[in-house]
Structure 1
Amino acid sequence: MAKWDNMLSMLWMLRSGRKFTAAQIADSLEISVRTVYRYIDALCASGVPVVAESGHDGGIRILESFRETPLFFNSVELKALVDAFKFAQGAGYPYAEELESALKKVENGLHEEQRHDLSRQTSGMDVISPVRPPSVVPLLRDLEEAAKEGRTVRIVYRKANAEQASERAVDPYGLAYDRNEWYAVAFCHRSQAVRTFRVDRIARLEPTETRFETPERFSASAYFRDQSNRGREADGPLAVIRIEGEQDVLNEVCGHWHMRHYLTERTDREARFLLDVPTMNKYLPTYLMSFGTAIRIREPLELQRRIREMAREIAQHYEDDAD
């Protein structure tokens, strides 16, 4: 463990309010007692009030006043914070600027050696942001604020492939980020049902004075799962579907809006799903056929047999044309 990580770990131990002997600290951090005293000197020089008391009830402790100071992070935690900011920024998180400001405050409190180490550790990873309309960020802020306040909003929304946008009043229950897109899950007054609206398709949003109550324990992610479950043909019986393929192809199969809800196990070479047989028979043969020889169905034999039949029917169709 790096020097600064050891020092921070020791600081966390002392912040607990307990007294420790140098031997206890050394044993916990797997360092020498001499190193413990060097770290104490370094902490004291940095303004941390570490007190070493001798005698039967003595030990190393930290003054009460310092235990109320802000949190400290080790190098891996700092890297995780920076990387999380990159993902948030790439996803179009509406408070990315505030997150960046908070992160800078943390970085400003670092020692020069820590800042250099953090820059080195985080320079190897970037998140490529998808192209988004500039209006998405303020829309996300407005929708989240409306959800928090329980305020109905009026939106102008354009459905996919629709020629014209339509206006409607909605009660935004929550936001969800799914497949690189932001969605608002809201009660639509026009259809009198809960619907999902892709935020980048909202042309205009205006708050109203109307108030609403969000259903108790509502979860946008749970709503998406429920919608997928409703698309099933029947409740059972269930079949285990085992598919082999290259990692990038399996990523595409597992990322399908419907299939991903039934994924039960995944490795680099195989994915397993649990799905009811009627839905499997109705939707999967055609969908999985589109991957050609890039995947192989291992289970169930019924699905494997149906895909073979479809392949023969297609081959026969073009053989007939050749004649």
Structure 2
Amino acid sequence: MTLEEQFSRLIQILQLIEREPWMWDAADLEAKFEVSRATIERDIAILRQWGQIKRKRGKFGLAEMKFLPTSFTPPEALALRLAGTSFAGQAGAAYKDTLASALRKIDLALPGRIAAEIKKAHQRVAVSQPVVRDFSAQVYQDLQEATVRHHPVEITYYSRSRQEPTRRRVDPYGLTFKIGAWYLVAYCHLRKGIRTFALDRIKWMRVDEGLRFKYPSDFDLNEWLAKGWQLQAGGEPTEVVVRFDPEVASWIAGGHWHPTQRIEKRPDGSILFRVTVTGYEEMLYWVLSFGAQAEVLEPAPLRAAVAEAAIKMSERYGVAEAPVMA
């Protein structure tokens, strides 16, 4: 064995552990590189001596690195603080303490004059926070670890549609934060397909650390989520067409609502808003939020759902026609 071969193997070991932390043990590396256990142990000893990796329950992960101090301009420091504060407020318990600690370190590293400028500027910028559904930070952390290590998970899930708990076995593919809540994207063995699970509705869970599932090589979390309007990314893509009145047309046209959106301007000032999504049923409440200034043209089932909701609202308020405002 040459020094070049050993150095190349050390780099490859680091790359493997970086991509899949806490998933490789000495036996796995021995089989991967087709060398003896003694050779792998010598490599590990070198990497540990360099402070690059650490071992926990026989598995290897990267050691925490202490980064060299850096400098920020006032706009950069303000941007970091605003972004951190905003995300901490939205993400809830998952990153709240971690972000607070990171922001304190940034504040301590700033020169006094810049720190004073940032504090003054921050007090003059308000970022509104949406309502965030509460959940267990421990559930989030356990699921994140299971996702990285490819461990299957058993959960008791309270479905909003069924209004009753069900026991599921899932293979976690990723986590996403949308519309004020954290969701797990996972393959559900009960439903035989990829589903999303709100973390606040997981009432019990157990990570099966003794097993590992095969993560699908053709699955990309962001690409999968981009197919749907919000979270329902399964099913066949459907084109949705909504006409918006002139009063809201410019606001709709100026927003980025979906990667597939197309805007068609009409002579009367209205627009046709087109998107191609899976799970178009999720668009119902979005369309309703614009009241009579939005009209679904396609598909027919979504148009019927909006009409049914409008009829029920009229019945609830006891009006058959629009009341005259004094």
TM-score by length of 2: 0.56
Counterpart contact for 2:258–2:275, Cα < 8 Å? no
Question: What's 2:17 paired with?
Answer: none
Aligned-residue offset at 1:195: 0.9
Counterpart contact for 1:89–1:129, Cα < 8 Å? no
Cα deviation, 1:127-154, whole Å, max 9, x if unaligned, reads: 4352533x43222211111101111111
Q: Distance in 1 between matches of 2:79 and 2:143?
A: 28
Aligned partner of 1:91: which letter? Q
Question: What's 2:113 paired with?
Answer: 113
Question: What's 1:223 paired with?
Answer: 224
Aligned partner of 1:244: which letter? P
1:225–1:109 distance in 2 versus 1, CA, 3 Å: closer
Question: What's 1:263 paired with?
Answer: 261
SS in 1 for 2:82: helix
Aligned-residue offset at 1:69: 4.7
Counterpart contact for 1:262–1:273, Cα < 8 Å? no
Counterpart contact for 2:155–2:204, Cα < 8 Å? yes
Unaligned runs of 5+ in 1: 1-67
Question: What's 2:122 paired with?
Answer: 122
SS in 2 for 1:183: strand
Counterpart contact for 2:172–2:187, Cα < 8 Å? yes
Aligned-residue offset at 1:161: 4.0
Q: Distance in 1 between matches of 2:282 and 2:293?
A: 19
Aligned-residue offset at 1:160: 0.4
Question: What's 1:90 paired with?
Answer: 89
1:233–1:145 distance in 2 versus 1, CA, 3 Å: closer
Q: Distance in 2 between matches of 1:99 and 1:285?
A: 35
Q: Distance in 1 between matches of 2:295 and 2:163?
A: 41
Q: Distance in 1 between matches of 2:284 and 2:147?
A: 41
Aligned length: 230
Q: Distance in 2 between matches of 1:170 and 1:227?
A: 21
SS in 2 for 1:92: helix
Q: Which has the larger radius of gyration?
A: 1
Question: What's 2:60 paired with?
Answer: none
Aligned-residue offset at 1:172: 0.7
1:171 aligns with 2:171: yes
Question: What's 1:245 paired with?
Answer: 247
Aligned partner of 1:153: which letter? V
Question: What's 1:71 paired with?
Answer: 70
Q: Distance in 1 between matches of 2:102 and 2:283?
A: 47
Counterpart contact for 1:86–1:127, Cα < 8 Å? no
Question: What's 1:132 paired with?
Answer: 133
Counterpart contact for 1:159–1:165, Cα < 8 Å? yes
Cα deviation, 1:205-243, whole Å, max 9, x if unaligned, reads: 2111221122226333322233457655757xx979565
Q: Distance in 2 between matches of 1:230 and 1:120?
A: 47
Matches within 5 A, 1:2-21: none
Q: Distance in 1 between matches of 2:127 and 2:72?
A: 22
Question: What's 2:215 paired with?
Answer: 214
1:195–1:290 distance in 2 versus 1, CA, 3 Å: closer
Question: What's 1:191 paired with?
Answer: 191
Counterpart contact for 2:88–2:99, Cα < 8 Å? no
Aligned-residue offset at 1:125: 1.8
SS in 2 for 1:122: helix
Counterpart contact for 1:155–1:203, Cα < 8 Å? yes
Aligned-residue offset at 1:283: 11
Counterpart contact for 1:245–1:295, Cα < 8 Å? no
Aligned partner of 1:81: which letter? L
1:232–1:178 distance in 2 versus 1, CA, 3 Å: same
Counterpart contact for 1:152–1:210, Cα < 8 Å? yes
Q: Distance in 2 between matches of 1:191 and 1:283?
A: 20
Cα deviation, 1:258-279, whole Å, max 9, x if unaligned, reads: x746434599x97653347xx9
Aligned-residue offset at 1:166: 1.1
1:122–1:141 distance in 2 versus 1, CA, 3 Å: same
SS in 2 for 1:145: helix
Q: Distance in 1 between matches of 2:289 and 2:99?
A: 42
Which stretches of structure 1, 4 residues or longer, exceed 4 Å deviation after superposition?
227-235, 238-243, 247-251, 259-262, 269-272, 282-292
Q: Distance in 1 between matches of 2:198 and 2:284?
A: 29
Aligned partner of 2:147: which letter? A
